[in-house]
Structure 1
């Protein structure tokens, strides 16, 4: 693979090009547009040209997302909202990272509203590295490809059809705060709270280098409240990545609960590396 490019992308945004389908083709396409044939020369260009670096990340990042993806995580989220795990008295905070073009955070909001929660009982922050994805998320207008789940039980009251497009109603759209952020950044999101009760980080870890996965998980573990819930993707098994967490009692929720006391992630304190072989068919 392209060693200088892998090094640069791995250090800056944590991407593992070997895990991204067709990454080499996409990179060659950008090189051809610039008339650059040598990979080392292109890596040097990226190091000195922030606009081109951002354009490449937009090209190779995997934005595959749709509303209520896998369904069960959102059904389990509703169970949490209706249980003693969601007591009254304070606003519950939820993070969606990366949020891509907004389908996931809007799905979170709609699931909570349809569970009977009022907007003032929760707050959803959503962050992504891509300015283009965030622009589309804020517009909240979606094509049919964003709706793939059959017999989906969510959304009727908060999604409005406009020809072939679907628009998120203001009551759901206004419940999400979007921000640009790099998942590798260990600092809290700009303007966001230090801690969250629920974190969705789905289908990101499989595309990161081992070091980037460790950094992201350690960061999220620090930001998750004791007793809070972490939702991962269907190819990111919680018992592998979060061995100290308690798995969700809900099939295919792909969620786990942080211990109320003690250290959430053993790998952070012992230095034990988490290794896993991923399928590219995600």
Structure 2
């Protein structure tokens, strides 16, 4: 999730999914943006039959299965993608109950689920006459309520930071105690001035009480190459600064590495029992089937 504008929600969601799949886990990437879905366009996938809307319809009928999810998903390398609606006018298909039911079924299908959502958090019950009717932002609110972890994307410029600060209270009212990890995207000195990261960090700490903030550098060369190839940055520029920053974020904020002492203790225990041991790997999986929203 990210505030209004273009902080890089979709790019972040795509790169997080690709990075999470590097360890061999089954990762699902879902486009639940009911305002401006763009995962299919950014990755060159066909969107004539939007996968997530189809999953939502079947979830409402109780016929959505793991096999059906695998059938309607589009492969993006090792990531399974449920593409978004191909016209914003189809947003009523992504109702709150449908989205929540579909995401719960997806937990049985994938080890990690990354959901891309729209910015708006407005609840429109008071401005419509039919209280039983569809809600414009139901998909975003349902995905945020279902998530185990929120990745909040901030554009590293004065307008982007101000928008995020103003929307942060609304985000907290929606997600409650769900952990929120803040990723400051497109960080650079141009629009902020000297020591840009420190300025942004101090602002977020003052107005949102954020203590852990991660920064992703402005990397137009890598993002332009990815857009030209209609592929993730991880596929076309795996050694770029952007890809490296996402890799670091996943390792530190989503799947923290096993502490050395704890890992060594387990290895010694296995060795004492005569079991084969393997070298410790940073980013060892500590949990499975977690839904994350970008």
TM-score, normalised with respect to structure 2: 0.32
Query: Larger helix proportion, structure 1 or 2?
Result: 2
Q: Which has the higher contact order (CA 8 A, sep 6+)?
A: 2
TM-score, normalised with respect to structure 1: 0.33
